[in-house]
Structure 1
Amino acid sequence: MIEIIPVDTPSLGDRSYLGTDGEVAFVVDPQRDIDRMLRLAERRGVEIRHVFETHVHNDYVTGGPALAAATGADYHVNAADPVAFDRCPIEDGDVVEIGPRTRLRAVATPGHTFTHLSYVLESPDRPPAVFTGGSLLHGTTGRPDLLGREHTGTLARAQYASANRLARELPPETDVLPTHGFGSFCSATQSEVTESTIGLERRVNPALTRGEDEYVRSLLAGLDAYPAYYAHMPTLNRAGADAPDLSAPRRANAAELRRRLRAGEWVVDLRSRTAFAAGHLAGVLNFGLDGNFAVYLGWLIPWGTPLTLLGETPGDIAEAQRELARIGIDRPAAAATGGPADWAGDDKPASMPTATFAELATVRRHRPVVVLDVRRDAEWRESHVPGAVHIPLHELPSRLHEVPDGEVWTHCASGYRASIAASLLAAAGREGDVVAVHDDYDPHAMIARFAATGGSGLARHPL
């Protein structure tokens, strides 16, 4: 019986797969930290003989070359991809025999990229399955705009054709096993669904229920910003990355931390926003491990900037290293563990006030404050607090000068991005003027709260 084991990377919203017949195994779209796949294969007592890539990834550094080198597996990459490493070239229609009763068949599914492939698993031991990468996702498709605006329209129509090809050629019981779509910005829209079939997708997926023009218009209208580090991933993936060095970085004392801050380097506090607000080393930035740490840090940090990590334990540092290695940020310049008292030395730790939306509404009735909304454009268009200043978080480092003078209350949808924004403002010299709203944004609750502070409630715009 063929077993397919998903290996999730929730922080990036991606899923890799290990498939095995109990003796040999294959892997699809491995993440860079290949030790997870190696341990999984070892626990099951199987040998990884094949590694498949659906496409040159935009949102993470693949572990394909390193996994193939570590196991001696054949590494299958589209023959049309201009890569700098040895691979087993594969193209539409090619079949790879996995075992005596199992094979994978390549199907060209351009749209997310021009050279995207899906792989159909065919075995008499189980219903068919298709590994769809960034093509047909659960309830949506991969986004077509990551290769440049000039290609977006062409790729959107290719994505439509690819989704319909899979739906036309595969039986309804076929399991749909995508790499993206679990929170990744490579997905055109987000879905809470974790499993699906071709039959279900035929009923619910816009690429299969709408006409081509309607699908393309809707797809393009819904696209929002994606992380800046995506620009570096294809180059790294075409070159072929080694397995990451996850050994502990050098330790930094308080004097070194101050020196690095004065030099303009990034020193990042990995603790939760609550812990950060209670006390932190002045000038550091808060990217908590309890959120999409790597996505937002990779999005905001100027590429190549030396990075020092602050965590409560060595385990926190190790977790952050692993997350960052997946997006090509290797070897932190230094690290320190403990707490603000350890990191501040003779200096006094700083703190930051926090609040709820109810407290914000009350304050606005008594004095003027700047409400800084750091959510993305699509979130803002759906609804926002009247009178708020809107600067998406990923634009804030270059637009700090646009934040009005005075007391600033930062907010997002949950508090995670608000804390990042507040720490950026504080590090830029606004410490003492910043309040981070640690609260969930609920449009229905906001209407009553802000009706008396800036008009008739929330501003709304049709999508």
Structure 2
Amino acid sequence: MPTSTPMRPHELGRRLDVGEWVFDVRDPRSFAEEHLYGTVNVTVPQLTHLVGVLPAGAPFSVIGGTAHELDEALDRLAVLGLTPRETAVGRPADLGPALATYPRVTFRDLVRARRETNSRQDPAGRGWDDEPVRRAVVVDARDAAEYARGHLRGAVHAPLRPGTSMIREGLPGRIRRPLRKTLPLPTAGTRLWVHCADGTRASVAAGLLERAGHEVAWLDDDLETACRDGVLRLTSLF
């Protein structure tokens, strides 16, 4: 069984403050409901995304909701040849003070938000969730072949796979140069709606973008089903 050093809560906060990687291996829905700001949600099956994405020698730590989750993560990381600097187990509220959350939404919610963003009929500028209307920018975390076959018009392509990850460095805000030209700057008036094919890769991407300072919404939905049901229409590069 791989071993690592248990991390005290104040040390976890310090590592996040200086921009070190801290990966939360809980399920994506629990992460969306509550997590430590600056952590990135990478479930045990998704840990393979870290190979080729983490800079060589970059220190990282892992936290899990239970000891069993953490043990599974350590076993998977050992197979991948990766060893975390430190680990922690517990609820986010018990591990640090900088709690964060982001909405878990569907493609129907996205269509609704885009419509209301465009109309802005309410003089107060408030939207369907009784919050100020935000410009909805779609971020597509699928690979290049998936994106080429069909994507939402205007979507920013941010593939989440080794070698083309949206973030290569371990410091918040350092987004790869091609995306810096297409993503809006982090502002209170813009929310990034992050999707993939079924929500799994999008959960990782949402955490990465939040870490870089963006306001995000995680599309926990099936793209193919939404298209088949007439919720969405895709455009193609071909």
Moved more, 385-394 or 411-420: 385-394
Question: 2:184 maps to which residue?
Answer: 404
If the length of structure 2 is used for normalisation, what is the TM-score? Answer: 0.79
Question: 2:57 maps to which residue?
Answer: 304
Q: State the SS of the aligned residue for 1:319.
A: helix
Q: State the SS of the aligned residue for 1:308.
A: strand
Aligned residues: 204
**Counterpart-to-counterpart distance in 2, 1:296 and 1:247:** 20
Q: Is the contact made by 1:252 and 1:334 (CA closer than 8 Å) also made in structure 2?
A: yes
Q: Offset of 1:298 from its aligned partner?
A: 2.0
Taking the TM superposition and a 5 Å limit, the aligned residue runs for 1:214-293 are 246-289=1-44, 292-293=45-46
Q: Offset of 1:294 from its aligned partner?
A: 2.2
Residue 299 and residue 446 in structure 1: after superposition, are their counterparts in 2 closer, same or farther (change >3 A)?
farther
**Counterpart-to-counterpart distance in 1, 2:53 and 2:106:** 25
Q: Is the contact made by 1:415 and 1:440 (CA closer than 8 Å) also made in structure 2?
A: yes
Q: Is the contact made by 1:353 and 1:436 (CA closer than 8 Å) also made in structure 2?
A: yes
Q: Deviations over 1:67-107 (max 9, x none)?
A: xxxxxxxxxxxxxxxxxxxxxxxxxxxxxxxxxxxxxxxxx
Q: Which amino acid aligns with 1:293?
A: Q
Matched, 1:343 2:95: yes
If the length of structure 1 is used for normalisation, what is the TM-score? Answer: 0.42
Identity of aligned residues (%): 37
1:381 to 145, 148, 162: 148
Q: Is the contact made by 2:107 and 2:226 (CA closer than 8 Å) also made in structure 1?
A: no
Q: Offset of 1:318 from its aligned partner?
A: 1.5
Q: Deviations over 1:116-145 (max 9, x none)?
A: xxxxxxxxxxxxxxxxxxxxxxxxxxxxxx
Question: 1:440 maps to which residue?
Answer: 222
Matched, 1:460 2:212: no
Instruction: Structure 2 unaligned segments of length 5 or more: list them.
Output: 118-134, 168-175
**Counterpart-to-counterpart distance in 2, 1:318 and 1:378:** 35
Q: Offset of 1:423 from its aligned partner?
A: 0.7
Matched, 1:295 2:48: yes
**Counterpart-to-counterpart distance in 1, 2:40 and 2:145:** 26
Question: 1:317 maps to which residue?
Answer: 70
Residue 388 and residue 305 in structure 1: after superposition, are their counterparts in 2 closer, same or farther (change >3 A)?
same
Taking the TM superposition and a 5 Å limit, the aligned residue runs for 1:52-451 are 246-289=1-44, 292-330=45-83, 332-344=84-96, 347-367=97-117, 368-393=135-160, 394-397=164-167, 398-399=176-177, 401-402=180-181, 403-405=183-185, 406-430=190-214, 433-442=215-224, 445=227, 448-450=230-232
Instruction: Structure 1 unaligned segments of length 5 or more: list them.
Output: 1-245, 451-456
